């Protein structure tokens, strides 16, 4: 029997612990971590961890290949920390808002990448959880969601744009 709890605990420890995790999410076979400090990752030990099939690190992101059991390991991982997948980077976003925007919720890029698709336009009404952008990073397509209900007051990027962490993508008023 596989010990998903132990695998999740070992992975979290070896990526630098809960405080090092900015964001965690998963795809069909991998845990995808965005980290505050990649120097805290012990990739060699991760690769030897029971339940881990491989590790790829690039920039602030670390992918841990789990395989078909990724959902079970992810569920156990969420029990070990207070990180909120896809939402951890949001509190820093208002600092990046352009001065002319006045009030509104700024949506910023959580990682470096390329904008593959822009799903919204200025003046468009959105609801919390709507897909705003598709961001390609490390050969993965990442959906950027609306953090709140509102109307898009400005869109700062276009399809094909290269973005860095913290770059403003749009403002929702």
Q: Which residues are catalytic?
A: 27
- Neighbour count for residue 4 (Cβ, 10 Å): 19
CB 106 within 8 A of CB 132: no
Q: What does the H/E/C string look like for 133-146? A: EEEEECCEEEEEEC
Distance (Å, rounded) from C-alpha 112 to C-alpha 119?
Answer: 19
Distance (Å, rounded) from C-alpha 129 to C-alpha 149?
Answer: 8
């Amino acid at each position: 029997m596989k010990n998903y709890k132990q695998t999740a605990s070992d992975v979290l420890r070896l990526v630098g612990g809960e405080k090092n995790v900015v964001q965690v999410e998963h795809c069909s076979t991998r845990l995808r971590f965005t980290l505050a400090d990649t120097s805290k990752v012990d990739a060699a030990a991760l690769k030897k961890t029971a339940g881990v099939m491989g590790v790829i690190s690039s920039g602030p992101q670390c992918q841990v290949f789990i395989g078909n059991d990724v959902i079970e390991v992810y569920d156990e991982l969420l029990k070990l920390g207070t990180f909120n997948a896809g939402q951890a980077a949001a509190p820093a976003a208002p600092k990046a808002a352009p001065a002319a925007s006045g009030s509104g919720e700024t949506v910023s890029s959580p990682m470096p990448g390329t904008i593959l698709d822009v799903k919204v336009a200025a003046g468009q009404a959105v609801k919390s959880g709507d897909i705003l952008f598709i961001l390609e990073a490390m050969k993965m397509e990442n959906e950027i969601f609306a953090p709140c209900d509102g109307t898009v007051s400005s869109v700062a990027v276009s399809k094909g744009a290269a973005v860095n962490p913290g770059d403003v993508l749009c403002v929702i008023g």
